[in-house]
Structure formats: structure tokens, C-alpha cells
Amino acid sequence: MRNTRFHSAFVVLLLLAGAYIVPANAEDAGLGWGFECGCLQHRLDRNEWNGLRRPAKGMGLAWDVANGSDYRNWPPNPMVNYEHLKIALRFADVVAPEADAVATFTVRPIGVSVESLKLNADGLKITSVKLDGAAVEFFSDGKNLTMKFVKPLPSDKSSVIEVAYSISCPTDGMTFSPAYPNRAGYGPQVHTQGQTEGNHFWFPCHDFPNVRQSTELVVDVPKGMTVNGNGKLVEHVTKGDREIWNYLQEKPHVAYLVSVVVGDLEAVPLQSPLSGVPMHVWLPKERAGDVERTYGRTDRMIVLFEKVFGQKYPWAKYDQLLVRNFGSGGMENTSVTNMYPSAILSENAAKEEDLDGLISHELCHQWTGDFITCKSWADIWLNEGWATYGTALWMDERDGPDGYFDSMLDNAGVAKGDKSENAVGMVSPIYTNAGETFGRAANPYPKGASILHMLREMLGDEIFYKGVRAYMAKFALSTVETSDFRIAMEQASGLGLEWFFDQWCMRPGSPNISTKATYDAATRMLKIKAEQTQMIDQRTPALRVSTPICVRTASGQKTIAWQWRDRSAEIEIPLDGPPQWVAFDPRLAALKTLKMDWPMDWLRAQAKDGPTMAARRQAVEALRGDASPATIAVLEEIARNELERRKIRSECVDSIADFKSPESAASIGRLLDAPPHDPRVRGALTVATASLAKEKAIPLLMKQLESDSSEMCCKSAIDMLVKLEAKESVDAIMVAADRASHQQQIQQAAMRALGQFEAAKALPQALKYASLGGYDRARGAAIEAVGKLVSKDEKDAARIDAIAQLISWLDDPERGARRASAQTLVTLKAKDALPRLEAMSKSDPDPDVRAAAANWVKSIKG
């Protein structure tokens, strides 16, 4: 068998080790900013492999200090209109990471004739270039292809350029995944991943989102393999032992959205009586019965987004594909979304989570990202902020206002890191590489969604949607900048919105607002003081904010508008009697962090029946500073109520546990006596159990580990047993490790626990789960456990064998396993690994791997 290398954008999970990169339930889906939204993960730079994050806050320099050069990034000159691109690919066996290809471009110069043309073509071996059938002089430096024409391309007609080339071990953009051993229906696969600028590793192109073209894919594969690509299937023929699949994407799209998936997947149809859009989910045949349960609401989502944007679904089909070794939650390729391999729910898993957040986010991208695409990565919020907001709109459609405001409050969490002292704002051409724009502190996913929500609150639904639909109509099938959206909203509203977009999009920082409320019973006057406490200076003055006040008295409730723009402000509101509660900005009209110095009675009442779910959850958060019996009683009441939403119930449980008082322990005990039916709330209670005395908590957690039907709760029980250092639970955890669960979450938690406990007898089990064949993202936890479970005696036979296995995994076909193995070998100071790591540092085709290996060698040598 050939020595094959397989590449994909490796992702460091930003949550706890082994945690999901997609939310565990719909109420968190695409909303809660404690996790990375589905399609964010693969945007993180490939340098993650090196263990060195690219600057997450957009900290690239605007200029070279030494010579004054401008380092800002602008869309590169396209030179020509790319009218059409046809890519013919031939995979000999799908196993070897190679293919032969021909890319045929139909182009026409823009304005003036063109003497030469440069395309991105990293690592491609170019064999010939022809212009209208005649050979063309070309030069490839390994990263770019430059073509020199005998006569300039005329601007009055189209020209056809044909580039023949071969692909071999691409370091990005195209991933080859091996067959899983002893698993029918899990043969080899190939998938592509273009965003941000990865597709030029498998076809030459202008790899930047300021160019659109229609595309055609002709893919020649061994008989029995399926192929999926953008657009409609034009032809599928069998010729001997080969099959040829031909897809045509007639409407133009950008290069990073071109997609090919090759494998042995089953295409399961999705019903679409409402939208009429042809839809399939492509996945291993054994999971076909779970498709409707997981993806059955896609049709309703399409209808919602058609209404929101005033545009029918724009493409010939919508397919969703589960692909192995995929480095993200999902990727919105035009008409075909790639999903992570376990994005399918069994009957048991569906009782405690769904994937509506991920599904709606990627689907919304078919309008905001594909139908209209940001012209520059600096404006990526026009793609990602809208897709994140699309999920909030779906939660409103599905769950009502509570779902919507749950979503928007979670997105508002971005304000904690969006500080005025940060170097750049959300929209800025200052970055070292394109991936930075997706991970800034002013993150375009939640901050972009929050901006859209604020704009809607300010303009009202009628004007907001009028502007949105005009924007979609005007820029259909084209590329856009932030100013394009601003102007569309100005034309719809008649307002000047420069200040709004400059404040929220261009400059860094969200306000940190501290408030104090008092009531004078003698004058029946409510007084509220508010202050912006973030850093305020000439560069980032106080922000202009709207913070309406909603008050309930015995006679009813009313809302008072309040706009202010100074460092501090006060408002006095006459009332007809004492307030029962006072909600500060209950509809989140301003993105902010909020501190509330409020009477506790008001906060307790607001937590129970405030005007929005956001206001209620903000009150629960404010009550964390009050461990009184009255507060605990209110929090317990909400947590116990099965009609309440999961998120506020779980937050109440968390708050009670954090008090760490005899009263809070008694409350947790009462909740444990009648555990919640919702497994997600029960999971929060599992975590809270660790706040009890160890002698009480450990038996409860052991019992739950053995008997709770919830996969999530069992995973949490293991985590808490580790927190309590309950080494007596090792045998039970080893048993639990063999339990099947969605994304092998129980197994991952068990491997982390057994490694933490240094349970040497679990080494064979860890080696088993570290081997190729399981969920690719779960292997890392087992590999790390191997390093902790081996003997410290360097002459121990089991240790020697384990290190040999780890060294063999340095050539594993799954990138995550390779990286985890290398880091474990470094931890073990395994000198036997030096020859292989030194070879990697000198000769690996991937420069990131070479750099990482060099660092690993240094670490082992000490």
C-alpha cells in the first residue's frame, strides 16, 4: 500500500477537551457564544497544527515599522471576468492522495486587453496551458501559475484557457480519508474545503471572493463510488470499471464555494412539500433511518428564509453531506453543505439535542454567503453575522419569542471580549491571514447577528425587512461590502446610518454598562443611573446607545424609550405605584455587558416573569451575588418547572450550586430527589452535584453513571467524578467507556478521566479507542490517555509497545490523530520518536507540519 498523506484543516476545539464543536442542543445552536459556531471552526488557520494560534483579535499590523509599507489587505485585481470554469478530475483509486485534472476557463478582459494572467495554484504540477487550443508560455513557482500570451487577450470577445495539471498530496483544500477497517459502507472518501483560500490547492483559480463564475465538474472515479458537486447532475454514466459524474452550477459563485465529495455515500431524499426544492442527505447507508429525525425541518427553514430575504431558494438543489475527517461543523458550499461525520442523531440522542442551529446556519448561507458574497474577508460579517442571525430567526419561527431572545442574549456574550482597547474592529482590512477575520474579539458571527438585531429594533420590522429585501434584490449573484448594506438600509429608512455602522462595525469595542436603580416612594419616582465603564478616549469615545426601560407596577407595565451617548446618564420615571420589577433594555436594543445594582425583590420578580427571556436570564445572572433563602427559592422554583426553557433552568441550577452554602446544598438535594425530566437540565444538575460534600456526591454520580439513560448526563457524571478525584470510580468508568454515544462523548470523557486517574489497567482500552476506525474527533482523547497510562519505567514492555504505536500514528491518515500522537510523544520525552519527527521537520510537504515537527524535536531534546 502506498504511503499516503491526508490533509484537512485541523481544528483545535476551543471548549473543554473533547467537547463538541457544534452545540449540544437547539437552544444553544448557533446562538450561545460559549461555543464555536458550526462553520467557524474550519476558518481557523491551518497553523493550528503547529499548536500556535494565529492572532485571534486581528492583530496584524497596518504597516511595516521599518520601511513604512502598507500591510492592509485589499481584494486583488481580477483583470478578467471569469465567465465559466470547467474542472475535469480523474481519481485513479481514491486511496492514493492524487488526481489528474484539466481546468478550462472562459474569460474576457475587463476594459483593456490582458498580456498575462496569474492564478493561485499552490502545489499543483502544471503540465500544459493552452489558449483557444494553442500552447501558451507559462511559469509555475509552486504557488502561482503565470501565463504569458503571445497576443494580449482581446477585450471584445471571450477566450478559452485550458490548464492541464496533477494533484499530489495537497496540503490544504482537498482531504483524502481512508477506508475504516472492518466497517462495511465506510470506504475511502475525498472531500474539498475551500474557505478561506484553500481551493487553489486542487484547482488553479483566482482564490479570493471578489470574483464569481459558473462552474462545471466532471469527476471520473472507480465504479461503485458516488460523487457530489455543486449544482444539478447533468449526467452520470458507467464506462467499464469507471463512473463519470457531471455537475453544472449555472449561476455564478465564488471559488471557495466549489465542492467535490467522493465516497460510498447513500443519497436519502428529504421531503420538501412547502419549498419544492430537491433535497438529499448523503451519509453512510446504515444511518439512512435517522435522516428525517435530524434534517426533517429543512423544508420549513427554506420557506422562512425565502420570506425573510424576498428571494426564492436560488439554486438547483440543496444537499447536505456527512463527510469524514471534516475539520468543521458545516460548510455552506453552493447548493451542497458539508457536515461533520456524526451530524446525525439516533432516537436516543435526539431526546437531548438537535442540530437545528447548525442546519439553519448553513442553510441561511445559501442566501448570505453564496447568493450574495462578501467582496473581502474584512466584510465576512455579511456572510456569518447573517447566517448566525438566520438561526435566531429560525428559533423564533420554531419556538417563538423566547427562542429568539435566548438566541440573541447568547450572541450578546461577544461584548465581553469586544473591548475598546482592541487593535481593530469587526470590519478591518488589517489581518495577517484571512482566517483571522473569523476569530476576532469583535467576532463577526455573534456581533454581526447582534448588529442586525439592533438595526431591526431601531428601524422596526417593516422598514428593516424592506431594506433587507431591496439589498438582496440589488446585489443578487454579486459581491458586496458593508457600505452596500448600509446604503440599502438608508434608502429604505430615510435615515443616515453612517454613525451606526461606523460605531458597531468599524471601531472596536462594545459598551460595558453599570446601572443603579432606586425608587422614591414619597414622590413615586423611579431613578436609574447608567454609566459606560469601558475604556473611553479620543479613538473610542462613549457609544450612542438605546436602552429602553420596561417597568411593571400593580396597574400593568410600560416601556420608556431612553437614548444616550455620554459616559453616564440618568433618567427619572414617574410611576403610579411601587415597581414590581424594572427591566433594563429587555429587548437587547444595545449590545453590551450589563451590571445591575437593583433591589433583589425586583430581580427575583423579573427572573420569574420578566418581559422577555433575555430580561429573565439577565435577572438570574444578577442574582448570582445574592445567596439569600428567598433567591434560592426563586431559582429552585424556575429550575423545577418542566414548562420552562432548558437554558434558564440550567442557569438557575448553576447559580444555586455556585452559592456553596448549606441552603444551596439543601436546594440541590431537593432537586436531586425529583430529577428533571429534561436530560439537558438533568445534566446541569449532575454538574451541580459536585458542589455537595464528596461523601454524598460521589455515590450519587456513580449511580447516575450506571443508570441514567442520557448520554449527556453520563458524560457529565464522569467529568464530575474526575473533579472530585473519585478514583474508586475507575472500574465503572471503564465499563461506561464501552457504551455507544453520539460523537463518542461518553468514551471521550472516560478516556480523559482514566488518564487523569493514571489507571494503568485501562491502557489496552485506550489503545483500542485510539486506533483508526472510530469517530475521528474522539481519537485525540484516547491518544492523550495512552500517554498518561503508560508506565514511567522506560524499560517497561507495555510502555515500549505503546510508544511504538504512537510513533506509527505520526503517519496516520487522520490529521488530528497525528497531532495528538506527536504531542503525547513530546509529553513522554520519547527519544525513539526523534528520527521520524526530524524527518518530518525536514521533508514533510506541509510547511506547518515541518514547523511543528521542529518544535517537537526541540521539546523532546529538552
Of 501, 499, 362, whose CA–CA distance to 427 is shortest?
Answer: 501
- Mean pLDDT of the region 328-349: 95
- Band (52; pLDDT cuts 50, 70, 90): very low
- Band (60; pLDDT cuts 50, 70, 90): low
Q: pLDDT by residue (tens digit) across 365-412?
A: 999 999 999 999 999 999 999 999 999 999 999 999 999 999 999 999
Grid cell in block for residue 27: 437552544
Q: Name the CA dihedral angle for 248, 253, 259, 265, rounded to a multiple of 10 degrees.
A: -60
- Mean pLDDT of the region 561-572: 98
How many helices and strands in the chain, by DSSP H and E? Answer: 25, 31
- Mean pLDDT of the region 558-574: 98
pLDDT at 35: 33
- Say how many residues make up the chain: 862
pLDDT at 182: 79
- Band (69; pLDDT cuts 50, 70, 90): confident
Q: Is the pLDDT of residue 655 over 90?
A: yes
pLDDT at 1: 38
First and final CA of the chain: distance in angstroms? 36
pTM: 0.93
> What type of residue is 220?
D
Average pLDDT, the chain: 92
Give the largest Cα separation in the chain, rounded: 93
DSSP 175: E
pLDDT at 71: 82
Q: Is the pLDDT of residue 23 over 60?
A: no
Q: Is the pLDDT of residue 742 over 90?
A: yes
Q: pLDDT by residue (tens digit) across 417-475?
A: 999 999 999 999 999 899 999 999 999 999 999 999 999 999 999 999 999 999 999 99
Residues 6+ apart with CB under 8 A from 745: 18, 20, 711, 712, 715
pLDDT at 30: 36
pLDDT at 57: 38
Q: Is the dihedral of CA 184, 190, 191, 193 positive or negative?
A: positive
Q: Is the pLDDT of residue 669 over 50?
A: yes
pLDDT at 42: 40
Q: Is the pLDDT of residue 38 over 80?
A: no
pLDDT at 39: 52
- Mean pLDDT of the region 657-665: 96
Q: How far apart are CA 588 and CA 608, in angstroms?
A: 18
212 forms bridges with which residues in the sheet? 254
